[in-house]
Amino acid sequence: MMEYGLLGEHLGHSFSPQIHKMIGGYDYGLFERDPDTLDDFFANGTFKAINVTIPYKKAVIPYCKTLSPQAAEIGSVNTIRRMPDGSYFGDNTDYYGFTYMVKHSGVSVEGKKCIVFGDGGVAPTVRTALRDMGAGEVITVSRKGENNFSNLDRHYDAAVLVNATPVGTYPNNGVSVTELAPFTKLEAAYDLVYNPAVTEFLRQAAELGAVAVNGLGMLVAQAKRAVEIFLDTEVSDNIIEEVRKKIAFQNMNIALIGMAGSGKTTTGKALAEKLGREFVDCDDLIPVYAGKSIQDIFAEDGEEVFRQIETAVLSDVCKKGGLVIATGGGVVTRPENLPLLRQNSVTVLLHRPVEDLPSDGRPLSQKHGVSALYEKRKPLYEAWGEHRIECNGVEESVQQILEALGV
């Protein structure tokens, strides 16, 4: 067993090993354990210190001989250290992480009505932190509590929303704990989910003009505090943002958009090789999904069916992270594709002069003409592309992309 790690029932893909390696310099394992194995885990484990996640933040308390005042007050433990006498000390670094998350966002919760969605896991910590930061009314909304989703309308005047549930977590992307449009006074939304980077909850909040923050900053901040407890040392707060940015970039897709023939595949392959990433061409996956070639899809089923298949493929691909993705030229013609891209990707528009764009083997370019197609899509490309690259050779395009992304 590793000396440091994360205890939980179903851990899946966690960023914690990377984060702890960057901050603490040690290897960090994932300890997936069933509830009936906890006695053995704590009686016979050889670990020095661990973090604890769902569903064990309360269940581990009886194993701790001593608790920090904060952990005792909240009734939740997410950090455990083995003491020299072999006993366990329990602490709560989620409090530090959530407080950092809110303060770093630049939003003051003082005197404001806040809603915390969910009543398990980290929710008690979030409520305590909000009250300690001077929040006004702090409402817990859960499925069966006094305040639930059937009477949520009584709280549409809330200024701050916190999703403390796992709703929207990979691979169940694209769903939100509730619709945010009725919250007309919304100022800030915090989602403790960090994968995907932009959840449906945060997407809706941003559309309302609210500050929208995912849980990665909190994860790194609480890990920084955990490292201090693990190693009995002090670590500068400056490392939090440094590590957050590195982890965010490592797990962010780079999605290339642009006209057919603009060089997305060639540039994408070169970029992926440069960054040591996997390259995915959506046009290569569509025939696999459909069981026929793109040309046959257009000829036998029509463009609408093709677009539906393209969206399904994009949905699957964009749930993942750390990829370089080449999209089809017409991906921008379906509005529902934009949130799929935004959830985990930065979009880069590759622009090539219309006269240089080929039409061979491209059904729509041949049918409508390249110039007409480009003029129709141009506003969409410009709206969707977060960075625009002029294609003047593969190497130069790759270098422009790296510079645009600050790599």
Quick check: is 103 catalytic? no
Residue at token pair 């090789």: 273
Residue 160, SS3? strand
d(CA 243, CA 218): 12
Largest CA distance in the chain: 78
Catalytic residue among 21, 57, 65, 144: 57
Residue 25 near residue 49 (C-beta atoms within 8 A): no
* Cα–chain center distance at 183: 23
Residue 257 near residue 349 (C-beta atoms within 8 A): yes
Q: In degrees to the nearest 10, what's the CA dihedral of 14, 18, 21, 26?
A: 40
* Helix (H) or strand (E) segment spanning residue 138: strand 138-141
By annotation, the residues acting in catalysis are 57
